[in-house]
Amino acid sequence: MEQKGVVAVSAQLRAIGGLALPRGNQTEATLFDEGRNDTNGELLMKRLLLGAVAMIVFAAPAAAADLQARPRPYTKAPAYTAPEVVYNWTGFYIGGHLGGAFAGNNSLEGNGGRFLGGVQGGFDYQFAPNWVVGAEAQYSWLANNNNGVLFPGGTLVTTNNDQLGSVTGRLGYTWGPALLYAKGGYAFRDNNNIGVTIAGVPQPFTTNGRHQDGYTVGGGLEYMFAPNWSAKAEYQYYNFGSTTFTTGPADILGTRFRNDEHTVKAGINYRFGWGGPVAARY
């Protein structure tokens, strides 16, 4: 029995005549035409499936080319922002220092410098938020290499001040790990330890006082290089007034000397950090 649907399609294809058909339609026409006398429906279905596969094969390259032509969407990754490091200066600290001491002009110690070393401790409080206020106690030992002052009459005056101390307040401004500060307060030393000799023979004398107490001012830069650790460079001036000889050999009688020290120090502190250690703020 001839399948009517297939005959109708085949007849329509013949009616087209010599017109060129698209490749896909030609394939369908051929399959339908060949299946006109095919009484086996299963064979016809196989040929129809083969035709569909052929159409897919021809269409796939065009679809792939279309996909390649489309630009790939690109999203820029957000820039990395490092966390802000927060430095907290609030808390107690202890440490040590090394440096040198240099007597001022018109001093009993002459012009030579002396080595010093010592310890310090204190407390800082950070507020507002870049200001730091605190208090510090410091003690230094000085090497004694003083040759004294020789007067024209042959009188030699020497002194041996080998300890310096201070209790000061300080105020500083901090940005990041750095702290720039000024300091000032009370200063003390062991005593004046003055000696007067002529040709090596000790001579009697008196002065207007021992001048053990005085004042100090200074400043420096401190840097927090690790959690709970800071290093500093500091200048500090000590003044204990002036000494005047009230009695003694004629060439020193009434002579007045200044008792002051210019010091430079490098130190390191360990900070207990009651306000919290160095932290990262995101």
Judged by phi (left if over 0) then psi (alpha if -120 to 50, else beta), residue 57 lies in: alpha
The pLDDT, as a whole number, for residue 115 is 94
Quickly tell me which residue has 């004398």 as its tokens: 205
The pLDDT, as a whole number, for residue 78 is 74
179 CB contacts (<8 Å, ≥6 apart)? 89, 132, 172, 173, 221, 222, 223, 224, 230
The pLDDT, as a whole number, for residue 104 is 82
What is the mean pLDDT of the segment spanning 4-33? 45
pTM of the model: 0.69
Residue 192 CA, distance from chain mean position: 44
Model confidence pLDDT, tens digit, residues 211-226: 899 999 999 999 999 9
Q: In this structure, are strands 84-86 and 149-150 parallel, antiparallel, or unpaired? A: unpaired
> CA dihedral defined by 181, 184, 190, 193, rounded to 10 degrees?
110
Rounded distance between C-alpha atoms, residue 245 and residue 24, angstroms: 127
What is the mean pLDDT of the segment spanning 52-78? 61
Rounded distance between C-alpha atoms, residue 228 and residue 216, angstroms: 27
Tokens coding 263: 């010091």
